[in-house]
Amino acid sequence: MATGRFHQLVQQVLRESELQRVSMRAGGSASVRALPAVSAVERLVDFTLGEAVAEGASDLHFEPQADGVRIRVRLDGLLQLRHELFPKKVYAVFLSRIKVLSRLDPSEQRRPQDGHFSFTREGKETDVRVATMPTIEGECLVLRLLAHGGKVWRIEELGLSEENEASFRALCAQPSGLLIMSGPMGSGKSSSLYAALATLASEQASIVTLDDPVEYRLAGVTQVEVREEGGLSFAEALRHVLRLDADTIVVGEMRDAVTAELSLQAALTGHRVFTTLHTEDACSTVYRLLDMGLAPYLLAATLKGIVAQRLVRRVCPECREEAELSDADALALGNEALAGHRVQRGRGCPACHGTGYRGRIALQEVLVPDDGMRGVVLRGEGLSALRREARRAGFRPLLADGRQKVLAGLTTAEEVRRVLYGG
Ligand SMILES: [Zn+2]
């Protein structure tokens, strides 16, 4: 964030609210005429959002502390401090402005509120989701920034290893059956799903997507926005889509057993079904579906593949330097023999805000069930049996993909450890 301009605007907001106070004391009512056409707070909101969008932040956090408000941005998945002591007086005006923009009640400070508004910068529209929550130091505010009609990636841009890309492409080309993208929130699974879908969009294909909300727009595809709260549910929409003569159906997320069951039925009756699920890895996804009450024979008959994914930060290209893999890092990557191996690390520079990382890449694992794995499911054997069987078939887990990308200098062992083991 350009600190100078930010502080200048903060001072202007303070001066304007002082002016307003003086004129109120003099004339009785708040004299709006004394204020310029675009108030300082409007400029401050514009500037703050504009900067966050420009640097590619996904969220802005405003956290009241004892003597000021801390502002942090989420960049490449992690929070970074931008301002430590944003004056509470200015924050109050800032928060009111956000509440007005998102049609929330500005006078309500004791209850959490949520809303949204859209923000345009250089012709690009961003949907801003607003959430407030009363805390002991005042209301906190989180703004989530969702680019309107996010970029649809091509498969070759997803950072898949050569083997994984070949398996992924083969899965997309299957004429029917279920393909699942799995991973926690913010692991890029929707990006991969849409990259898969983009390979299928053509004049001959009939594709229907169900999403809540629609994040990516694709030409030639029928996109339906599902509203689980008080509107069209995934399950209800899916029942109708089956009558729309679609070849390929995208179920944005399999949130419940009914949706999962309907998705499998669609896959069984000759449709290609793409979906996402919040799960840790490819093998455990199978057991999540069985726990949802799906029949093992149905799953074995329809499941074509599962792609599990995580995003790791990429070593900053501006300040990268050679480093040696430590014993601990080699151990974390599952191969002690790699200690001392040459890898890359970011020293930290202005381009990466001193973090040594800039942008992100994905780690993937692709599970393609064969007869051996289907047998494990049909016989009702557990997760460890499936993992064993997958390994036998040459399945390369996320850790192996991470190891390969560390050795290629794309990311670091710390990053792989952070996303796979949380530390
Ligand atoms: Zn750097």
Ligand 1 centroid, distance to 409 Cα (angstroms): 14
pLDDT-based confidence at 241, cuts 50/70/90?
A: confident
CATH of 3-147, one of 3.50.50.60, 3.30.450.90, 3.40.50.720, 3.40.640.10: 3.30.450.90
Ligand 1 centroid – CA 349 distance (Å): 4
CA–centroid distance, 321 to ligand 1, in Å, is 10
The domain segmentation of the chain, as residue ranges, is 3-147, 155-421
- In the β-sheet with 248-251, what is the strand arrangement from edge to edge? 222-225, 207-211, 248-251, 272-277, 177-182, 303-315, 357-367
Distance 57 CA to ligand 1 centre (A): 17
Instruction: Name the least confident of 27-41, 199-213, 358-372.
Output: 27-41
pLDDT at 149 (0 to 100): 62
Centre of ligand 1 from the C-alpha of residue 358, in Å: 7
Tens-digit pLDDT profile for residues 216-227: 888 888 889 888
* pLDDT score recorded for residue 213: 79
- Tokens 């991973």 appear where? 183
Residue 318 Cα, ligand 1 centroid: separation in angstroms? 5
Interval between CA 315 and ligand 1 midpoint (Å):
8
Tens digit of each residue's pLDDT (9 = 90 or more) over 130-184: 999 999 999 999 999 987 666 788 899 888 999 999 999 999 999 999 999 999 9
Query: Which is nearest to 263 in space by CA: 205, 197, 184, 209?
Result: 209
Q: How many other C-beta atoms can be found within 10 angstroms of the C-beta atom of residue 195?
A: 22
Which class in CATH covers the domain with range 155-421? alpha beta
Question: What percentage of the chain exceeds 90 in pLDDT?
Answer: 68
pTM of the model: 0.80
78-125: pLDDT as tens digits: 999 999 889 999 999 999 999 999 999 999 999 999 999 999 888 888
**Position 356, amino acid:** G
